[in-house]
Structure 1
Amino acid sequence: MTPEGRKTRVLVVDDHPLMREGIANALQAELDFELAGEASDGAEAIEMSRTLRPDVILIDLQMPRLGGLDAIPVILKEAPDSRIAVLTTYGGDAYAERALRLGALGFLLKSSLHRELVDAIRTVGAGRRYVSPTVAEQILSHMNEDRLSDRELAVLRLISRGEPNKGVARRLSISDQTVKVHVKSIFGKLGVCDRTHAVTVAVRRGLIDI
């Protein structure tokens, strides 16, 4: 229940109808929750947030038209008191850190058990942070690592598209030797020894999208 004693109204945002249905069923099983509405992408979430004023917005990251990471700052700019929790299949530490920096209070995985989902919504609804233990462990494990620079991320994105060093150099207007230096640094920071592994690790952690 909210401090006023009414039910916590939750807006569910996900592009998969079956996922929305499953979450709706989980909410209806709890006496202190009420399904405020359902949206299929971030653009709908922004509009429904304006009209419904839900207590908690449960939003996915990857959706057509507008994803969660793009919708979160828009929602919070219009309604700074909005309490948002990300529910996603993408458990990378970089995804979580980005969502939390943008203002989300919660971050949990779609593989979470019913009890964790319920606890997370109650925690976020009360204005406190909730991060899935699995994701929190990843954040802590990478906390003291050197971060990839913006230039290194740009190099890595081009590598993920199959660009050879010469192609990367041409697109970024830098020398082949500079590209090699960046690639060596990327390998060291990610703890990998080849381009394919670097891309795999970066995608899994949410450092780049492909």
Structure 2
Amino acid sequence: MSGVPTILIEHSTLFREGLGKLLARTGFIVTATVASADEIDGEISPEPELMILGTGESDSGLEKNIRRLRERFPNSRLVVLADQYNSDQVHTAFRMSARGYLMKTINCSTLIKSLELVMLGESIFPSAILTRMADEHGLDIEIEDEIAVEEPPILHSSRSLSAREMQILQCLVRGQSNKMIARNLDIVEATVKVHIKAILRKIHVQNRTQAAIWAVNRLDPPPAILDGHSAMDAHGSAFKLTRVHMAP
């Protein structure tokens, strides 16, 4: 995997160009930039794995744009970038299965980290916004458990991993199950489990998600898909994810 095909939907040409140049230095490959979902015309190849949708505080077309994008690219992950907090927009984005709602004031490194986590399967919403949204709209947000994914201090490098372990680690980054890894590498599933345990021990992490995030920060290629749902405080370099359930 050479990069994550990405499309940008944002009314500001300047913002689109700036974000496109920022993403060009990362593992996200911008394949199309448009002002609105209505402007997407013809085939886009490769089909985007990530869609970044910009919106303003008074943007009344957010739901329409999300719906059009969902119809066109049902398997792509969607992140909303907002000018400023709007509880109605957060609710709309969450309800329509967007994978993130972030402020345009976010710093560059945190934005990239957030997008990487989205591609690892996390749904990234600032926890403070979810709390305010629950208070303002009387929504039921139930915290199920917390996943600490702040990167632990690691004194060693990937050189301690074998070639096979490196292969399997890259498969984890792409979100593959043990069965998929076994089939792709032509080994039995039990062997995959043994290698994963060794990887976790060598890089001093607790689970597959932490291992994938560790790899994102150190290895190429960039991340792909891993299932999960969470909210996060997207301010600063440390990430604490909280699994949540929102009642309709």
Query: How does the TM-score come out when normalised to structure 1?
Result: 0.57
2:78 touches 2:99 (CA, 8 Å); kept in 1? Answer: yes
Matches within 5 A, 1:128-207: 128-142=122-136, 144=138
Q: CA deviation at 1:50?
A: 5.5
Give the helix-richer structure, 1 or 2: 1
Quick one: percent identity of the two aligned structures?
18
Distance of 1:94 and 1:66 partners within structure 2: 10
- Runs of 4+ in structure 1 displaced over 3 angstroms? 47-52, 65-68, 140-146
User: Which runs of 5 or more residues in structure 2 are unaligned?
Assistant: 141-248
Q: Could you report, residue by residue, the CA deviation over 1:95-143 in whole angstroms, capped at 9, with x for unpaired residues?
A: 1111111121111011111122112211222332011344234224436
Name the SS of the counterpart of 2:55 in structure 1: coil
Q: 2:78·2:98 contact (CA, 8 Å) conserved in 1?
A: yes
Distance in 2 (CA, whole Å) between partners of 1:141 and 1:72 is 25
Q: Distance between the aligned counterparts of 2:6 and 2:90, measured in 1?
A: 21
Offset, 1:62: 4.2
Q: Does 1:39 align with 2:24?
A: no
SS at structure 2 position matched to 1:127: coil
| C-alpha separation in 1, matches of 2:62 and 2:44 | 16
Is the alpha carbon distance of 1:21 and 1:78 closer, same or farther for their aligned partners in structure 2, counting shifts above 3 Å? Answer: closer
C-alpha change, 1:37 and 1:120, in structure 2 (3 Å) is: same
Matched, 1:109 2:103: yes
Q: Hey, what's the Cα distance between the residues in 2 that align with 1:96 and 1:140? A: 11
**Paired residue for 2:6?**
10
CA contact (8 A) 2:54 2:82 kept: yes
Q: CA RMSD in A?
A: 3.0
> Post-superposition shift, 1:18?
1.2
Distance of 1:134 and 1:8 partners within structure 2: 29
Name the one with the larger strand percent.
2
Unaligned runs of 5+ in 1: 147-210
Q: How many matched pairs?
A: 140
Structure 2 CA distance for partners of 1:62 and 1:123, relative to 1, 3 Å: same
Residue 52 (structure 2) pairs with residue 58 (structure 1): yes
The Cα of 1:49 is off from its aligned counterpart by: 7.4
Q: Is the 8 A contact 2:5 2:46 kept in 1?
A: no
**Structure possessing the higher relative contact order (Cα contacts under 8 Å, 6 or more residues apart):** 2
Distance change >3 Å, CA 61–CA 126, structure 1 → 2: same
Partner Cα separation in structure 1 for residue 82 and residue 71 of structure 2: 22
| Alignment-derived partner of residue 19 in structure 2 | 23
- Equivalent position of 1:165 in the other structure: none
Change (3 A) 1:109 1:82: same
Alignment partner, residue 123 of structure 1? 117
| Whole-Å separation in 2 of the counterparts to 1:145 and 1:103 | 16
Per the TM alignment, residue 85 of structure 1 is displaced from its structure 2 partner at its CA by 0.4
Tell me what 2:91 maps to: 97
- C-alpha spacing 1:114/1:74, structure 2 compared with 1 (3 Å): same
Q: Which secondary structure state, in structure 2, belongs to the residue aligned with residue 100 of structure 1?
A: helix
Greater Rg over alpha carbons, structure? 1
**Contact map agreement 2:6 2:30 (CA 8 A) in 1:** yes
Contact 2:20 2:30 (C-alpha < 8 Å) held by counterparts: yes
